[in-house]
Amino acid sequence: MPSTTADPRTDGLEGVVMGSTAITMVDGERGRLAYRGFDVSELAGTVPYESVMHLLIFGDPPSADPSPEIDRALRHGRGWPAFVRGVLDALPPDQTPLDALRTVWSALSPSVARYPPTLDEAYPLVALGPTVVAAAAHRRRRTSPPPPRDDLGHVANFLYALTGTEPEPRRVEALETYFVLLADHGMNPSTLALRTVVSARGDLASAFVAAISALKGPLHGGAPREVSAFLDRVRGPERAEAVVREALARGERLPGFGHRIYRVEDPRAVLFHDLARRVAHGSERLEIAEAVERAAVSALSAAHPGRRVYTNVDFYGAIVLETAGLEPDLFTPAFALARTAGWTAHVLEQAGSNRLIHPDLRYDGPIDRGRWPRPPIRPSDRSGATRAR
């Protein structure tokens, strides 16, 4: 296949501003992240996910914690519609939880796009997400998911659905902090995909399907499981430098490092590192991660003097997810479930002041190649050829 030439000054839409938002402020120069004006450091570990979802969607903090409106809607939507169970049963037994969630969201999409999207259309997708991910995980293990519990919050119920046992408070704390810190991040590949669907007056479920599809790749939401696999490869802190060096020599991207927007440390990475120091204190896994961070930051700074490359959200985020008891296959689904709060807010914001998102490409293929190299084929010849086959 012929390839085109990349222009690093413009390609990948780096630095392109395509609209405005009042949801999340991402300041990549100063390393600040704030939801509706509240710094994430103020919210992480102290405010329940339901309240953060409320803040992102409605713009202000709820009247109580957890947000009564969001809490009610998410508890209410946890149960299984019968046809969703049928969709899951029809999937191959080893379907990943991420793909299962995308397929169920797709099945929930209306056949004709409904527009404008409403909050009531988002609630069932968000509420059902943990149930679907947990059911897909159980299917692969050949175990049965427990019925959802409506006495638990959104995040604790997800852990309960995965294990069938009362979730330990330290695991709930780790996963709830993860959900809060991943709830939104302004513009990024999955939110761009989501807003693009809405901009064409597509429906909310289709926008969620586009977003989760964009999230799957290892340069975006697929990164945390790659971090886990990389740390497995390192095996001991003393091997960190050699493994990092070999990976870079092979031209690999180190998962969990670098970010398109942050030129200083990603504030979520700093908060996750602090949390990991608390919840994974003294573990060899944390020692390995810290040794990898030292080796990687030094090697990447030497290789790219003009571009500081630090840990991103996924590096210590992966340690936090491991501490919460999740298997690596559940890392990207957890990211998607957390991000449903932000995706909902972005769908509604895009529809609220919509203009079709339709960027352009610089054409650098051949121009004016003249006539087709063979004589034209008449339609009658083509149908004859089809019959002969």
Nearest approach in angstroms of CB 303 to ligand ACO is 7
Cβ contact 204:93 at 8 Å: no
- The CA-to-CA distance between both ends of the chain, in Å, stands at 29
Binding segment for ligand ACO (CB under 6 A), chosen from 112-120, 252-260, 280-288, 371-379, is 252-260
Site for ligand ACO in 4-43 (CB under 6 A): 12
- Cα 282 to Cα 291: distance, rounded to the nearest angstrom: 14
66 binds ligand ACO (CB under 6 A): no
Exactly one of 71, 203, 266, 314 is catalytic; name it.
314
Binding segment for ligand ACO (CB under 6 A), chosen from 53-61, 101-109, 121-129, 215-223, is 215-223
For the question of residue 220 being annotated catalytic, the response is: no
From 35, 49, 257, 310, residue interacting with ligand ACO (rule: CB under 6 A): 257
For the question of residue 360 being annotated catalytic, the response is: no
268 binds ligand ACO (CB under 6 A): no
β-strand pairing of 38-39 with 32-35: antiparallel
Site for ligand ACO in 221-250 (CB under 6 A): 223
Phi, psi of 226 (to 5 degrees): -70, -35
Cβ contact 176:168 at 8 Å: no
Closest CA to 347 of 196, 185, 164: 196
Binding segment for ligand ACO (CB under 6 A), chosen from 146-154, 173-181, 301-309, 367-375, is 301-309
Exactly one of 259, 266, 273, 346 is catalytic; name it.
259
Which residue is closest to ligand ACO by CB?
Answer: 258
Q: Please list, in sequence order, all residues whose beta carbon lies within 8 angstroms of the beta carbon of residue 340, skipping any fewer than 6 positions away.
A: 122, 125, 126, 129, 208
48 binds ligand ACO (CB under 6 A): no
314 binds ligand ACO (CB under 6 A): yes
Nearest approach in angstroms of CB 255 to ligand ACO is 5
Phi, psi of 182 (to 5 degrees): -100, 5
Nearest approach in angstroms of CB 113 to ligand ACO is 28
From 181, 271, 276, 309, residue interacting with ligand ACO (rule: CB under 6 A): 309
Cβ contact 191:344 at 8 Å: no
Nearest approach in angstroms of CB 260 to ligand ACO is 4
| Residue 369, CA distances (Å) to 95, 365, 375, 376 in order | 46, 11, 16, 16
Q: Please list, in sequence order, all residues whose beta carbon lies within 8 angstroms of the beta carbon of residue 196, skipping any fewer than 6 positions away.
A: 210, 357
Structure token digits, residue 133? 């991910």
- Cα 133 to Cα 183: distance, rounded to the nearest angstrom: 17
Cβ contact 94:141 at 8 Å: no
Nearer to ligand ACO, 117 or 256 (CB): 256
253 binds ligand ACO (CB under 6 A): yes
Structure token digits, residue 131? 């149930």
267 binds ligand ACO (CB under 6 A): no
From 78, 139, 259, 273, residue interacting with ligand ACO (rule: CB under 6 A): 259
Residue 115, classified by CB atoms within 10 Å of its CB into exposed (0-12), middle (13-18) or buried (19+), is: middle
313 binds ligand ACO (CB under 6 A): yes
Query: 146: alpha, beta or left, given left = phi > 0 and alpha = psi -120 to 50?
Result: beta
Nearest approach in angstroms of CB 117 to ligand ACO is 24
- Cα 277 to Cα 291: distance, rounded to the nearest angstrom: 14
Site string for ligand ACO, 151-190 (x = CB under 6 A): -------------------------------------x--
Nearest approach in angstroms of CB 25 to ligand ACO is 17
312 binds ligand ACO (CB under 6 A): yes
Catalytic residues: 259, 314
Q: Applying CB under 6 A, which residues contact ligand ACO? A: 12, 188, 219-220, 223, 253-260, 300, 304, 307, 309, 312-314
